Amino acid sequence: MQCLDWIAFVLFLVTWIGIEPMMAIGWPRRANSLLLDMARVRKAWMREVLTRDNNFIGDAAILGHTINSASFFGSANLIVIVGMSSALFMEPNLGGETGIIAKVTAIGPTWLFQCKVVLVMATLLRGLSDFIWAVRQINYCLAAIGASPSREEQRDIEAWTEALTLVVNPALRSFSVGVRSYYFTVAAALWFLGPIAFIIATLCCVALLVWRQSWSDTARGVKAIRKLLGGPLLPKDVTPAPETVQPVPREKLGV
């Protein structure tokens, strides 16, 4: 592996592994972070689940749609991984001297070509694991929402909201991490064009992710929603659910 390939590979690993923890703490703009703002919006959502009428059909539909999306992306990842794995055992001279594999491996040794294939597969595998984990967690979310107490029951809204948020946030965050893995899959695939293209693609990938998470129209819109929610999402003076009105006995009405 040439020196420039090493530099490109290390740069990719640092950004690929480190960007998610950095974004989780609000980097680069904590005051305008889409991830942090969405965490507060989901918390408000869980509070609404507990305080509105006992009708979880809409909430179940939203989470069910996310499950379908995660299942679709996970299946697509698995198909591409199987296709890429065949390249590891493919003969370099397949298709003769004009074969695609022969042309690519002519640029460098075969083991370098195999490293590039493995890196693309690694990004897809990480995305696949995130999608699978997201589906599992969303199923837990549905069970938790279904088990939440009704308005007529005695309950601690603040504690229940906090508990539901702790289940919902990681589930939807895992789905988002899986989607973001596609950015790095594209960057890893461009390594086949050479280390310069690999470095440029990695930097563009990080720049695009950072912009979309902090400066995009969606980030500004979610920030506006978070501001509209205002103040603490769980005020201490939550009005309890009204008790069921008991009918007045006919004797007391004088009839």
Comparing 103-112, 224-233, 238-247, which segment has the lowest mean pLDDT?
238-247
Structure tokens at 207: 């720049």
Confidence of residue 36 (pLDDT cuts 50, 70, 90): confident
* Residue-wise pLDDT tens digits, 184-206: 999 999 998 889 999 999 999 99
Specify the DSSP element, H or E, that contains 149. none
* Residue-wise pLDDT tens digits, 211-242: 988 888 888 899 889 888 875 443 343 333 33
pTM of the model: 0.78
Q: What is the DSSP letter of 116?
A: H
Residue-range domain boundaries for the chain: 3-226
Give me the mean pLDDT over the 72-90 stretch. 86
Q: For position 90, what pLDDT does the model report?
A: 64
Confidence of residue 245 (pLDDT cuts 50, 70, 90): very low
* Mean pLDDT computed over every residue of the chain: 81
Structure tokens at 152: 């007529």
| Gap between the terminal Cα atoms of the chain | 98
Residue 184 · residue 85 · CB < 8 Å:
no
Q: For position 42, what pLDDT does the model report?
A: 92
